[in-house]
Structure 1
């Protein structure tokens, strides 16, 4: 299955499905809260449900929580089914645990649009960006834009990485840039 053919659909095999994606941002008055301390102290005994959802079960609790945790556009979308998620402006212990695991390279996060997987937060990540801001680009255009214009790949390097011709990557970038210019 190619990256362009992949799409995220919520699974229906577990109760408490999470709704549509919301963006995540660090609170302005961020401190090392109890949720963050718990996320760093406890181990997660859960795992991936699909490309976009994970079960988080912290070792000090007796319950599991379903968490939407994926990249979309240029941002991270996250949502947890616990009450702490709403109380802490999105940074409950379960979401904080996933962030902590991701920045330490313990989990891989999938991009819902491109299908690419990221073992660590990419350089182009903006936590408070609109997840639909790049919906007008094809998955291949978005992938090239994120990787070359906003990321650390050169065109030829990305072409080799994706087994494409450099001209193809150049055309994808040109199309993405033209579409972005038209939207301004």
Structure 2
């Protein structure tokens, strides 16, 4: 993670809402480690690259042409959507999404958080792929409150540790966390 969040530069493609019909969050299929997409993700090199903070072009060696993939953090979720047929028919799991996940867990790509502007070179400690966080009321949080709430409450990182990481005082982080907890309707810890 970079120590200072940067201003997000994500501008959705003109056709993104129509093309994708809304971006779902990633959830892993039960047998994902035995799947053909997972095998391709590990064996084939990706010749693509970033388009913007939310989208990447994925061009696997065995593909005839590249695929546009949304792969970004939003709220407490990882958004993942590919324009390939396999993604639609395999419940959101395809070799292109699998390739980005494989690259991310190995530290080969950086994934952006669209709300906080923070860059993650690996999956953050607060990320859950079981789909139970999609309904969390994070829309009313400022980017700083969301960042503190995700890291401290969901990620179980101490206020002091997060304060050191972000060059803030523990009191500032504590206040951000308190305001975030009030807005999401929970007392927290």
For the aligned pair, the TM-score class normalised by the smaller chain equals 0.7 to 0.9
Is the contact made by 1:124 and 1:146 (CA closer than 8 Å) also made in structure 2? yes
Is the contact made by 1:11 and 1:50 (CA closer than 8 Å) also made in structure 2? no
In structure 1, the partner of 2:84 is 82
1:27 maps to which of 26, 29, 47: 29
Question: Structure 1 residue 27: deviation in Å?
Answer: 2.0
Question: Structure 1 residue 168: deviation in Å?
Answer: 1.1
Evaluate the alpha carbon distance shift between residue 17 and residue 50 of structure 1 in structure 2; reply closer, same or farther with a 3 A threshold. Answer: farther
TM-score, scaled relative to structure 2: 0.85
Structure 1: 4+ residue segments shifted above 4 A: 2-5, 16-19
Partners of 1:40 and 1:107 lie apart in 2 by 14
In structure 1, the partner of 2:10 is 8
Partners of 2:5 and 2:135 lie apart in 1 by 18
Q: Give matches, 1:1-184, under 5 Å.
A: 3=5, 5-6=7-8, 8-11=10-13, 18-30=20-32, 32-127=34-129, 128=131, 129-130=133-134, 133-181=137-185
Is the contact made by 1:35 and 1:92 (CA closer than 8 Å) also made in structure 2? yes
Evaluate the alpha carbon distance shift between residue 141 and residue 41 of structure 1 in structure 2; reply closer, same or farther with a 3 A threshold. Answer: same
Is the contact made by 1:72 and 1:131 (CA closer than 8 Å) also made in structure 2? no
For residues 24-55 of structure 1, the C-alpha deviation after alignment (integer angstroms, 9 at most, x for no partner) is 11223545121111111100000011111000
Partners of 1:137 and 1:4 lie apart in 2 by 17
For residues 112-165 of structure 1, the C-alpha deviation after alignment (integer angstroms, 9 at most, x for no partner) is 111111111112112213176411211111100111222253222322322222
Question: Structure 1 residue 13: deviation in Å?
Answer: 10
Partners of 1:39 and 1:145 lie apart in 2 by 32
Question: Structure 1 residue 12: deviation in Å?
Answer: 5.1
Question: Structure 1 residue 177: deviation in Å?
Answer: 1.1
Is the contact made by 1:101 and 1:107 (CA closer than 8 Å) also made in structure 2? yes
**RMSD (CA atoms):** 2.6
Q: What stretches of structure 1 of length at least 5 have no aligned partner?
A: none
Q: What stretches of structure 2 of length at least 5 have no aligned partner?
A: none
Number of aligned positions between the proteins = 181
Partners of 1:13 and 1:47 lie apart in 2 by 19
